[in-house]
Chains A and B, each alone.
Chain A
């Protein structure tokens, strides 16, 4: 339950100003003739409460040429401020013209909030604050893809009985006429919010229900998705599969140990190793011998070459001696019997030289040889040549022998190497390699089965998990569904009851009004339905709308569950050519509405405020006392007063 009372309305600009007298609880009448600014007063209140007042806007209003609003639009540094009392607490609200921010004073602290919501920059707006003060919970409406948060401006559509809207609509026109802001669901929400039939509890349950539904749908989706991608058609439970897995692991272990045993048996061929070692020793010995022989052969070859050259030089010598003998024979240069100088033959005495001196053999170092002597030297040389030849031959033979041995050994080495190789190869191929291969294949097979089995286990457990999640979500959903449905039931029951009460009040008020209907009720869209749709004259639209507002106020006063802020701002309803007496009659029904709000006769009417702006003589005379101030165009009692300041002094 909330209670909004406007205490004071002010306007201040550099050129004009306005300050209302103190407004009271209960009925407040502001009387003025056309053009004196009654509507302006209403606009001030609406504007200060965060509403959109098109005439005040400095843009998009060029075709409207109303001098009243030109004054405001062309005024500078101007603002509207109102003092309000909500549930007994005082607040001051101030809004500059053409500004989308509102300053409000709360317990001496001035705060600022924007009017329009923006999820990123302005998540909290002035309306949230005001509704919070009025104990009205803001809730979100899902309208297809967009979400909509109810605001004070929406509720204001049933608090402000204005002249601009089509009275048939009952509701005041929204700021912008689009299919969302004036959709029936929003209108219904406004009505429900005001009469309190959209309870918070219900909404919470509804949200929980929605959440559970979403959770169930998600888990169902997950499960379906999983089943679509994984075939879980294998037989058996998780336990059975796990048993199979363990069995397979066992089998694998056995196979592995069997293979290892076989391999160890193969490597234990010590005989072969022995054989190999022997062959290797042989090989090493042979290779050593070959290398020794090679060195020996090299040495022998060197010796042989030396002897070869000696032989050659000896042969040279022999041929040379032969030539010497030839020369000696032909020329006989040094025959001892011929004087070398006179060339005469000399009879030489034995033991004496040609010159007659005695020959001392020992003294001679250079001999002259006879042909026979040369021949003997030749023979000697030939003999020594022979021995050199023998030596040469023996070297040659030795070398030949070594070469043969080397050839044989090299051949043998190659043979041994081949043998070694074949033995090593035979080691590789011996052993039961076939069996090992078979075991290997088997191991691979078992491993494959293991992987498959573990996959099956995983998918099965995943499936079970998803299934249990789904069933849990389903249970939750069922529980929430039940709660929500029961809540909905009681909610509907309560609503029916509330609407019944509304219908009763509305019917009673309307029957007394100029409409004088027999029966009135509201339909599913909370729109009036009078006398079962029977034709009514055009002017009856005024009471139909006005009584609707009165009924809401009355219901708000009657019931604590109703969230109506017990505030009405009524502009004189003059549409449809309603005559003064009827108008007065209809307005007078406010008293009835207040009386009907009493639950029993002794009860005091609770705090409320109705601000009624009307024309001269267009109000019930009983309300004379409630007139707060008058506006009169002719006597220049216009709502805006020109400041007697600079503007005047500079005046035109």
Chain B
């Protein structure tokens, strides 16, 4: 018997904004970019919200239409809040480390791999995600260090998507 309450919860389920969805994508990304210590940290966590949708898809990066890209870009800004919230939870659980870059005024993050269950690094399970990350790395040079603006220019602006500075 599916309760009325669950029915509501099910209907309200937004997969792309689910914490667990964002979590596993974040872990895989940091691991693939080898951000596993403070000196190897990922600059500016906000970049992640722009990347998640590409990481999880089975489709090629070039296959997204201009409309889809525009839609992804606008939803990115909702994800930023979720991710910042998630980062606090993950830090409290000691899964990641967070530092503040005082010059750029950004949060840099890294994965505390020792605390992550080994099964997350099963390359078979996350095959799709790993493949996608590799492709994105090819597209965006220095993905780990680059600024939000440079990355957005490559992924959205250059593909005729209207973007704006945040």
Which A residues contact B (CB, under 8 angstroms)? 312, 315-317, 319-321, 323-328, 330-331, 333-334, 340-341, 343, 361, 365-369, 373-374, 376-377, 380
Cβ-defined partner of A327 (8 Å) among B15, B23, B57: B23
How far apart are the CA atoms of A374 and B57 in the complex, in Å? 20
- Is B12 in contact with chain A by the CB < 8 A criterion? yes
Q: Knowing A320-B15, A373-B6 are in contact, say whether A333-B24 is a contact too (CB < 8 A).
A: no
B19–A323 touching, CB < 8 Å: no
User: What number of B residues sit within 8 Å (CB to CB) of A?
Assistant: 30
A330–B93 touching, CB < 8 Å: no
Contacting residue for B117 out of A316, A320, A331, A369, CB 8 A: A331
Task: Judge whether B92 and A328 touch: CB under 8 Å.
Answer: no
Contact for A333 among B9, B23, B119, CB less than 8 A: B23
Whole-angstrom distance from the CB of A547 to the nearest CB of chain B? 146
- What residues of chain A lie closer than 8 Å to B19, measured between beta carbons? 333-334, 368
Interface residues of B in 65-110 (CB under 8 A from A): 89-90, 92-93, 95
Query: With a CB–CB cut-off of 8 A, which chain A residues contact B166?
Result: none
Query: Shortest distance in angstroms between B72's beta carbon and chain A's nearest beta carbon?
Result: 13
| CB neighbours of B39 from chain A (8 A) | none
B139 at the interface (CB under 8 A from A): no
- Tell me, in angstroms, the Cα distance from A648 to B2 when the chains sit together: 179
A341: shortest Cβ distance to chain B, in Å?
Answer: 6
B118 to chain A, nearest CB (A): 10
Q: Please state if A367 and B9 are interface contacts (CB–CB under 8 Å).
A: yes
- The answer for the CA separation of A74 and B125 in the assembled complex, in Å, is 153
Interface majority SS (helix, strand, loop, mixed), chain B: helix
CB-CB under 8 A from A368, the residues of chain B are: 19
A320 to B52, CA, bound (A): 12
Asked if B57 and A316 sit within 8 Å, CB to CB, the answer is yes
- For the complex, give the distance between the alpha carbons of A330 and B28 in Å: 14
Smallest CB–CB gap between A281 and chain B, Å?
A: 46
Assuming A373-B6, A373-B9, A377-B10, is B89 touching A323 (CB within 8 A)?
Answer: no
CA distance A327 to B24 in the complex (A): 6
Check B2 against A330 for contact (C-beta < 8 Å). no
In the complex, whether B131 has a CB less than 8 A from a CB of chain A is: no
Q: Which residue of B lies closest to A321 (CB)?
A: B15
Q: Specify which chain A residues have a CB less than 8 angstroms from the CB of B126 in the assembled complex.
A: 323
Are A367 and B13 closer than 8 Å at their CB atoms? yes
Contacting residues, chain A, for B119 (C-beta < 8 A): 326, 330
Report the Cα distance A341→B23, complex, angstroms: 17
Contacts of B24 in A (CB 8 A): 323-324, 326-327
Contact with A along B1-30 (1 / 0, CB 8 A): 010011011101101001111011000000
Known: A312-B58, A317-B15, A330-B117. 8 other contacts (CB 8 A): A315-B58, A316-B57, A319-B128, A320-B15, A324-B20, A340-B92, A343-B93, A367-B13
CB-CB under 8 A from B10, the residues of chain A are 373, 376-377, 380
Whether B128 lies near A333 (C-beta < 8 A) is no
- A2–B92 Cα distance when bound, in Å, is 173
Q: Which 5 A-B pairs have the closest CB atoms?
A: A324-B20, A327-B24, A327-B20, A330-B117, A367-B9
Measured CA separation A333–B88 after assembly (Å): 11
Q: Which of B8, B18, B59, B89 contacts A312 (CB 8 A)?
A: B59
Whether the Cβ atoms of A343 and B92 lie closer than 8 Å is yes
Whether A328 contacts B128 by the Cβ 8 Å rule is no
Q: Which B residues lie within 8 Å of A312 (CB)?
A: 58-59
Q: Is B93 a contact of A333 with CB atoms below 8 Å?
A: yes
Q: Give complex CA distance A343, B89 in Å.
A: 10
User: Contacts of A326 on B, CB cut-off 8 Å?
Assistant: 24, 119, 125
- Chain B residues with CB under 8 Å of A376's CB are 2, 6, 10
List of A residues within 8 angstroms of B92 by Cβ: 340-341, 343
How many Å lie between the Cα of A59 and that of B2 in the bound state? 161
Give bound CA distance, A373 to B13, whole Å.
10
Contacts of B18 in A (CB 8 A): 324, 369
B6 to chain A minimum Cβ distance, whole angstroms, is 7
Closest residue of chain A to B94, judged by CB?
A343
Q: Is the CB of A316 within 8 A of B58?
A: yes
Q: Which of A325, A328, A361, A369 contacts B13 (CB 8 A)?
A: A369
Contacting residue for B90 out of A333, A343, A369, A373, CB 8 A? A333
B130 to chain A, nearest CB (A): 12
- 21 inter-chain pairs at a CB distance below 8 angstroms, sorted by A residue, are A317-B15, A321-B15, A323-B24, A324-B15, A324-B20, A326-B125, A327-B23, A328-B20, A331-B95, A333-B89, A334-B89, A340-B89, A340-B92, A343-B93, A361-B5, A365-B12, A369-B9, A373-B10, A374-B20, A376-B6, A376-B10
- A317 to B20, alpha carbons, bound, how many Å? 13
- For residue A334, give the distance in angstroms from its CB to the closest CB of chain B: 6
Cα A534 to Cα B126 with chains together (Å): 169
CA distance A367 to B56 in the complex (A): 21
Contact of A331 (CB < 8 Å), options: B2, B9, B57, B93: B93
Q: Which residue of B lies closest to A380 (CB)?
A: B10
